[in-house]
Structure 1
Amino acid sequence: MTDPRIKDVGEARTAHLFDIVVDLAEPLPIGPRVLFGAVGGTFDGPRLRGDVLPGGGDWAQFRPDGTMVLDVRLTLRTHDGALVHLSYGGRWVIPPDLREGVADRARRHEIDPARYYFRTTPLFETGSPDHAWLNNVVGVGSGYLVEGGIAYRVSEVL
Structure 2
Amino acid sequence: MIPALQTKYVFSLAIRVGTPIVAGDHGHGIRRIIPILGGEVFGEGIQGKIFPVGADFQTIRPNGFTELEAKYAFELDDGAIVYIENIGIRFGPKELLDRIAKGETVDPALIYFRSVPRFETGAEKYRWLMENLFIGVGARHPDRVEIAVHQVL
Tell me if 1:28 matches 2:21: yes
| Contact 1:17/1:47, CA 8 A, preserved across alignment | no
Q: How far did residue 147 of structure 1 move?
A: 4.5
Give the alignment of 1:69-88 within 5 angstroms: 69-88=67-86
Q: Deviations over 1:51-106 (max 9, x none)?
A: 1101111111111221110111110101111110111111100311313321332x
Q: 1:100 to 1:64 in 2, by over 3 A?
A: closer
Counterpart among 107, 113, 127 of residue 112 in structure 1: 107
8 Å CA contact 2:70–2:87 kept in 1: the answer is yes
- Cα distance between partner residues in 2 of 1:99 and 1:155: 25
TM-score in terms of structure 1 length: 0.87
- SS of the aligned residue for 2:151 comes to strand
| Unpaired runs of at least 5, structure 2 | none
Structure-1 residue corresponding to 2:7? 14
Identity %: 28
In structure 1, the gaps of 5 or more residues are: 1-7
Dislocated runs of 4+, deviation >4 Å = none
TM-score, normalised by the number of residues in structure 2: 0.90
Q: For residues 100-134 of structure 1, what are the alpha-carbon distances to aligned partners after superposition, in whole Å with 9 as ceiling and x for unaligned?
A: 321332x32xx211111000011111001121221
Q: Is the 8 A contact 1:94 1:116 kept in 2?
A: yes
CA-based RMSD of the aligned residues comes to: 1.4
Residues 22, 32 of structure 2: 8 Å contact kept:
yes
**CA deviation after TM superposition for structure 1 residue 136, in Å:** 0.8
Larger strand share, 1 or 2: 2
Q: For the pair shown, which has the larger CA radius of gyration, 1 or 2?
A: 1
Match of 2:140 in 1: 145
Measured at CA, do residues 147 and 29 of structure 1 come closer, stay the same or move farther in structure 2, by a change above 3 Å?
Answer: closer
8 Å contact kept, 2:91–2:97: no
